[in-house]
Structure 1
């Protein structure tokens, strides 16, 4: 704050400083990136005005207390709980320290948790510190994370130099138990992108949304510390989805949210407006807007738009709709009415989310694959661009739904959370995907990503071609590019 950056940096462990700067990302308004989440930095104006008081606190219940750092395998690290009060607002914060070069230095708890050997991939280093591991191996998990980063970099048109910088520095991925994630993130959450250390902290094996935040920051490289959520979250939704839903599913949901009038584009633009909406009504349409800007104006246009709505927090908080529209108009080189009109035309174009309802007729005379169960019969036909699935009930019983499980092996593995939710009591044999179907909806899940990757829902997109009320059968087509590889097993309700 006083401009003594070198002296401030000397308070930190050299290893933490090096880790924080390894990707060459800078925030001009926060010269010491490693300290960006400090409550002192967030309340610097109160500190300058001498309105901030600091108090040493006794150990908080369940926090692990002052002393050795809970959840971190390092007996040399100690912690101290402090509280900071300004204008009747109090925040509690825990500082971690380690003795380095003969003196006590600040230590990032995220960096402490990541010490030790991780599994390094092309773009990501995974540290799995969960007490009980399940699902895919670390090598397979890193391969999935690398694939996600590669796809995001391709979509953003990331330069070769920026990709090489990512390969040299690598993003961090800390996979931890939910309680540890909450302690490291400072609040209950499934996961968070820690921009100070460029690490995703999560209990999810492939948290693509938070990974996208890090990829975008690495792509922009030099940016203010804050960005309006309409694009900060919108770009992350477009690249990484959200709530276990693939970007293509979020895109379809976002379009429906906008075209059905649940939310208007202008409702999303300001910081207060976005945050006033329920997340179900803000994130998906923001992702749809980000996708449109990228498609219509290219990576350079999206970069300009992101930087146009990035600034210090005080400035962003004061921007109204007109000010945000003006910033985006100047960044994209077009008047706002034209941008909005073109966006509305974009929304009117048809789009699928990987599963398309088909005419509910009898199965083809010679399907490529048939699966017979006690309650239904499934016929599968492969075409160049799609795979058609027809499900007919057996006998007079109404179709109760079912699932197709893909892949698998002879190994019995602990199921991940999503698999256990779909198939309670069933032994997991490393199946990779499942196509779940009922008369109301069809969903394709990827258990490696723990994500919904394709969807048709009659409640959102009713079609007379999905469920035949007379025969009770259903028919759908899955994009051939999404069809999983491996053996297929039919699982009926309550099946094991």
Structure 2
């Protein structure tokens, strides 16, 4: 005997009369979603944004549901008349309803938001009252405007320009991005990223709306993911993580670190024998190892691979190692890769820590000094002498901006708009751009071959910072 589908709608009786999402429509939505036919349930703006850049993922009928897609076993369960599941409706006010789907037998839960009985992206719901602004290629949604400096916008635009050239975007490609914009959603912290995306991370590329959701003002790693997808336009949802993360690291670094800083770690790991990129050509091994090992190695090797294969061949290789299901991703075979001698040559010629140099400094005009240190012109670099820390201001005031990196490093102190922070001790040199909160140059004795201490003369550490690692020339107003 057939048993009717066991379905419970749970809601307070007092609230049902004012329920923006009727019970019957909730049932219809779940049934349609299980059959991949829920397009008519999508909010107009959510649908428009999901389709604006014309990126399509194989096997995904409605990109708006990428983050809410149902696994095959859950679809089968929902389609099975003998299966039991629960729908819980919770009004959130202003015609917003939260729909929670629970399939107890599969230990599966999923949450959906509805506005006026239509599915709405959580990104649109949570950022509805955030500050917005637009640049040439971005639309920014900013939770706390004090955490976003104009220089971060400039850096993102510059990076995008470089990547459009690197990926050989056509004129039509460039016009489309300028017209439709990449969404950049800047959260105040990682807790807010979690609330918007469901992921406990510093940032993520949201594929449903082609958006960067991040707690970092200049998160070019996640932006890189979106840009290669835009270049390909039609691709499977999953790519071998060695290639996917390697591409984003090679050209976008990681949250808070420029690419060179991460690839230097990869060089040390490979050259010292601590780890080898070949160990992570299998997806399971890549996922099993910590990202602090796999990402630097993948980034360093991807830069070599991209340069050796060229754009078109690299993109074909990238697609060849993509799949509609993660479990279908194949290992990368050694015979698919360039000759190992070419890779060994890259390692021999690699110059780590290129942003910070030791040795003789022909110091010229002094452009800033105080009792803790001094900075002078030195050819293609800036000669630095300091006891431990220098804060450099190149603008008059903070203008309301607040640097998260400054607050992290100097808890309890007041930020006055300083542009750069330089830190030195016997084991390291770090140079931060406080307007973007990026580590733009560093030297770490622990990752140096051979390991050398930072040179010191009397009570001052001495080194040179290359000018080309700084976003703009130093015109120092104040050194602290």
* Band the TM-score falls in, shorter-chain normalisation: 0.7 to 0.9
Structure 2 contact 98–112 (Cα < 8 Å) conserved: yes
1:369 matches 2:388: no
Cα distance change of structure 1 residues 488 and 354 upon mapping to structure 2, 3 Å threshold: farther
Partner of 2:123: 110
What is the RMSD of the two structures over their aligned residues, measured on CA atoms? Answer: 3.0
Q: Does structure 1 residue 83 correspond to structure 2 residue 102?
A: yes
Distance in 2 between residues matched to 1:54 and 1:416, nearest whole Å: 47
Other-structure match for 1:127: 141
- 1:97 matched to 2:108? The reply is no
User: Is the CA contact 2:270–2:276 (under 8 Å) kept in the aligned structure 1?
Assistant: yes
Task: Supply the distance in 1 between the matched residues of 2:369 and 2:194 (Cα, whole angstroms).
Answer: 46
- Where 1:92 maps in the other structure, the secondary structure is strand
- Tell whether the 8 Å contact from 1:412 to 1:430 is kept in structure 2 after alignment: yes
Relative to the length of structure 2, the TM-score reads 0.83
Checking the alignment, whether the CA contact within 8 Å between 2:193 and 2:213 is kept in structure 1 is yes
Per-residue Cα deviation, 1:140-174 (whole angstroms, up to 9, x for no partner): 54333322222222232322222222112211111
Alignment partner, residue 258 of structure 2: 246
Change (3 A) 1:432 1:285: same
Are positions 1:55 and 2:86 aligned together? yes
CA distance in 2, matches of 1:489, 1:145: 26
The alpha carbon displacement at 1:344 in A equals: 2.8
* Residue in structure 1 matched with residue 333 of structure 2 by the alignment: 325
1:386-436 CA deviation, whole Å, 9 max, x = no partner? 233244xxxxxxx5x122424131346453220112233332222222222
Cα displacement string for residues 292-333 of structure 1 (whole angstroms, at most 9, x for unaligned residues)? 12211222122112111111225535x3x4xx227x82xxxx
The answer to whether the Cα contact below 8 Å between 1:127 and 1:173 also exists between their aligned partners in 2 is yes
> Residues 159 and 206 of structure 1: is their aligned pair in 2 closer, same or farther, counting only changes over 3 Å?
same
SS at match of 1:134: helix
> Residues 193-342 of structure 1: matches in 2 within 5 Å?
193-313=205-325, 315-317=327-329, 319=330, 321=331, 324-325=332-333, 329=336, 336=337, 338-342=338-342
Q: Is the 8 A contact 1:120 1:142 kept in 2?
A: no
1:478 corresponds, among 459, 465, 474, to 465
**SS at 1:24 equivalent:** coil
Match for residue 358 of structure 1?
358
- How far the C-alpha of 1:343 sits from its partner, in A, is 2.0
- SS for the counterpart of 2:218 is coil
* Shift in CA distance, 261/47, structure 1 to aligned 2, threshold 3 Å: farther
Distance 1:28 1:470, change over 3 A: closer
Q: CA deviation at 1:183?
A: 1.7
Equivalent position SS for 1:425 = coil
Q: Is the 8 A contact 2:277 2:294 kept in 1?
A: no
Gaps of 5+ in 1: 59-65, 70-74, 330-335, 392-398, 492-496
Count residues with an aligned counterpart.
445
Per the alignment, residue 434 of structure 1 pairs with 421
Could you state the TM-score of these two structures normalised by the residue count of structure 1?
A: 0.81
Question: 1:465: how far off?
Answer: 7.6
Q: Alpha-carbon deviation of 1:281?
A: 0.5
Which residue does 1:13 correspond to in 2?
43
Higher mean displacement: 249-258 or 159-168? 159-168
